[in-house]
Chains A and B, each alone.
Chain A
Amino acid sequence: DVKVTQSSRYLVKRTGEKVFLECVQDMDHENMFWYRQDPGLGLRLIYFSYDVKMKEKGDIPEGYSVSREKKERFSLILESASTNQTSMYLCASSLDPSGTYEQYFGPGTRLTVT
């Protein structure tokens, strides 16, 4: 079974802090994604990566950055956390974007910024 794990289920941080969210997948997938999930807005893509060292902006990259130093690990960084970044963050991975592919999601990290 594909497994996508996220470092924390719940996280509470203060405004202005630098926050790291970690994601690891164990299926040798090329592609990894970070989404945020908010009620009434569904899932919105923050950043994605098609290969190690590569990153592409999604639909809402402002205030975020990412790092992918190893194939299995994709980190989301909030440079200076703000209260409007309080949300559920979901990491996903997939094998191949060019065909009919499935994204496998982790359980999510619920981040609260106070």
Chain B
Amino acid sequence: QQQVKQSPQSLIVQKGGISIINCAYENTAFDYFPWYQQFPGKGPALLIAIRPDVSEKKEGRFTISFNKSAKQFSLHIMDSQPGDSATYFCAARNQNDYKLSFGAGTTVTVRA
């Protein structure tokens, strides 16, 4: 079964709005949490990542919030732009074997 649960499956946001994608996990062996962005016809590319010893990380308009006790983390896209329209995957790395487990993905559509 999927070790990282991601929601929603898809979302539509107006230009300038905020997109929020949520992920949850159970495995306490996860120690690193990257987010990947994938455009149609391309492979995923690393967007931003966080370790569980910090609660928030911001890079430009993208922010990861991390709640270690709840085993949840989320991606916020501020001031969403049409160029942000893509599929976003959260992931978690197992510290024992370094394998990444991915969420199911969220397709974000930003309307101009």
Interface residues of A (CB under 8 A from B): 4, 35, 40-45, 48, 58-59, 90, 92, 97-98, 100, 102-108
Contact = CB atoms under 8 A, between A and B. Distances in A.
B32 A42 contact: no
B2 A4 contact: no
Given A4-B43, A105-B44, A105-B45, 8 more contacts: A40-B9, A40-B104, A40-B105, A42-B102, A43-B102, A100-B51, A102-B34, A104-B45
B104 A92 contact: no
Contacts of A35: 102
Contact of B46 (A44, A90, A102): A102
Contacts, number: 49
Contacts of A90: 43-44
A107 B102 contact: no
6 contacts: A4-B43, A45-B99, A45-B100, A97-B98, A100-B49, A107-B41
A106 B98 CA distance: 20
Contact of A108 (B6, B9, B43, B49): B43
Nearest to A44: B102
A103 B34 CA distance: 10
A35 B46 CA distance: 16
A108 B44 CA distance: 10
Interface string B74-112: 000000000000000100000000111111110000000
B41 A103 contact: no
Given A42-B6, A42-B89, A100-B51, A107 B42 contact: yes
